[in-house]
Structure 1
Amino acid sequence: MAAAHPDPRTRHFGNFYGLEGLDGDESTDPVVLVVGNCQAESLRLMLDGGGLRTVRMPPVHELVAADLPHLDRWLARAALLVTQPIRDDYHGLPIGSAQLTERLGRGTPVLRVPVIRFAGLYPAHAIVRSPADPSLVPPVVAYHDLRVLAEAAGLRSRARLDPPAVRAIAEHSLEQLRSREDRHGTVVVSDLFATPSFAQMRTLNHPGNPIWTALAARVRAASGLPAHTVDPGRPLLDAVHAPREAAVIDAWGFDEPERPHWIVDGHVVETGAVREAHLDWYARHPDAVRAGLTRHAHALTVLSLV
């Protein structure tokens, strides 16, 4: 049962915790549970309505043991589970996608969707996890610039970022996305990036509304549900926008200006400020530098940084 005076997090996910809404209404619309990282909430918003009810729930990396009874309550009620691939015992909890499937009601269908990452618009950016603490991220923006990472490692300071390099990194990124789709049997989204645009991705892992509209339509079609298009009334995953570089604009033939800075919560953040903050962070976390060099060896090579 929810606390008498819930904290802000509990209020934010009020339906999930039984504070309001679906538990007490008379709706017979089937409930869809969408489980995953921050991308899951955007997909949930685009699936809501049109004969479906959805539940806003914490992203999977924020779930704690006390959340499990609430999760089980919704799994028992769900008419459809949409989940990103999540490994068993994620964060020490039985919330892997296979484990969630086992706890569903008998015969409840499950649809997997991929974690969407596409580097073809931000080819020098990467995600790096520190082996010492995978939850650590650098300050200002959580994305690593491989040019700054290489500088921290004492490697070449000038990258080869030109249209051929952009397209090579884009194709490698798509190969990885296709591999994830095939390996986990997910709904396919990789083909959407055959003709890239900045509207598709705000950062390398924050898709824009056109991607969510298309993915929601494909989820509905794959589940045998009637078509329904949602206008959320706002841009989704809009807090951070990565710089738009000239080489990317040239590579894809965009008719758009270069934007050399970040936009964070609506404010301009210069790349120089990000570089300085990240170099200081790398000096304190050399294990993250080593991990980045290993994980992103291909992109570093394409960019002529190694």
Structure 2
Amino acid sequence: MSAGRREHYAEFYGVRPPLRGDGPLVLTHGNCQAESLRVLLQGSAEPVSTIRVPPVHELEPADLPHLQRIVERIDVLVSQPVREGYRGLPLGTAELLARAARRPRLVTVPVVRWAALHPFQVIVRSPEAGEPPVVPYHDLRTLSVAAGGGELPDVPSPEAVRAVRDLSVRELTRRQDRHGALDVVDLLVHQGANAAHTVNHPGNGVLLGLAERVLAAVGLPQLLPDPGRTLLDAVHAPVLPAVLDALDLPSRAARTSWTVAGRVVRDDDVRRAQLEWYRRWPGVAAAGLRRHAEAHAAWAQ
């Protein structure tokens, strides 16, 4: 374990004790969205205590005793739906609950995916190839070219934009219903052009609204200050004017380029780099189109 990781998660690794208030001790479990919720919950008016833990996809076998120590003390588990035996480790939501010394209150939150603002953008998992270069996202237009499926329109029709939005609503609603998770769809719709930076990085307004619903679910006051910074800020994807028009959103929110770690990156540069990467990893593009066939069909209409 690196010294930086140990210091970053100092309370998790027992380097220093967690700060405890009079309120409940809350563990947030999941990906980077879960960590953003932790930041917001820690700042609530009620003296909620939280512990920063590594995201679930970074937890290692050596981390399990530390996770067990934390789970034995928590009052509330705020968890995205994590399947049992995730990555061959007992990191599932139900597995954490089963190991808790005192039965904590469970609040399930969804993994937020919202493609309304970025109908071209998809996530494709390829363990062998890893992530594509420049940004960890795939573009349906680039995938189609790389897979030999021909070029899609650079600008989608209004019908295509709304079809992808409706697909996002259906998929998110289905996942929420399946897992009994808090509802976030209305927050995304209400936030409009500010709903998300990328398909899996919701904006502050969405995260604040979801954190308030977590507090309400455990009977705590829903008083949350603005965090004073943009959460999930590493990558901002382009937002096409035609997309905003189709969704009746203000055109001033349009962006033609990416912002990656504060640096502006042209969309054409991303596309060229990723096309070359697909040539080195044949099969990834075709698999991506199969995985996102419904969104691909909607874009092509």
Same fold, TM-score > 0.5, yes or no: yes
**Cα deviations across residues 54-74 of structure 1 (Å, max 9, x unaligned)?**
011100000001111110111
Equivalent of residue 27 in structure 2, options 30, 33, 50: 33
> In structure 2, do the counterparts of structure 1 residues 284 and 233 end up closer, same or farther at CA, with 3 Å as the change threshold?
same
Q: Deviations 1:166-209 (Å, cap 9, x if unpaired)?
A: 11100011100000000001111112233452211000110111
8 A contact 1:196–1:252 mirrored in 2: no
Letter in 2 for 1:174: V
The two structures, once aligned, show a CA RMSD in angstroms of 1.6
1:129 maps to which residue? 125
Structure 1 residue 109: Cα displacement:
1.1
TM-score normalised by the chain length of structure 2: 0.94
Task: Give the counterpart of 1:88 among 84, 88, 101.
Answer: 84
1:267 equivalenced with 2:263 (yes/no): yes
Matching of residue 147 in structure 1 with residue 141 in structure 2: yes
Does 1:119 find its partner at 2:106?
Answer: no
Work out the CA distance in 1 between the residues paired with 2:208 and 2:61: 33
Supply the distance in 2 between the matched residues of 1:123 and 1:78 (Cα, whole angstroms).
39
2:60 is aligned to 64
Change in CA separation of 1:26 and 1:202 when aligned onto 2, cut-off 3 Å: closer
Q: Could you tell me which residue of structure 2 aligns to residue 226 of structure 1? A: 221
Distance change in 2, residues 1:30/1:58 (3 Å): same
TM-score computed with the length of structure 1 as normaliser = 0.93
- For residues 201 and 26 of structure 1, what CA distance do their matches in structure 2 show? 33
Which residue of 174, 177, 200 maps to 2:172? 177
SS at match of 2:286: helix
Provide the residue aligned with 1:210 in structure 2: 205
Letter of the structure 2 residue corresponding to residue 95 of structure 1: L
Q: Specify the alignment match of 1:11 in structure 2.
A: 7
Q: Name segments (4+ residues, structure 1) moved above 4 Å.
A: none
CA distance in 2, matches of 1:141, 1:232: 26
* Identity of matched residues, %: 47
Counterparts in 2 of 1:235-250, with a 5 A limit? 235-250=230-245
- Out of 282, 286, 291, the residue aligned to residue 295 of structure 1 is 291
Which residues of structure 2 form unaligned runs of 5+? none
Structure 2 residue corresponding to 1:77, chosen from 67, 73, 77: 73
2 CA distance for matches of 1:259 and 1:167? 19
Shift of 1:151: 0.5
Letter of the 2:294 counterpart: H
> 2: distance between equivalents of 1:196 and 1:29?
30
What is the DSSP-based 3-state SS (H/G/I as helix, E as strand, rest coil) of the residue aligned with 2:194? coil
Structure 1 unaligned residues grouped into runs of 5+: none
Give the total of aligned pairs.
297
1:151-173 Cα deviation digits (max 9, x unpaired): 00111213260221111100011
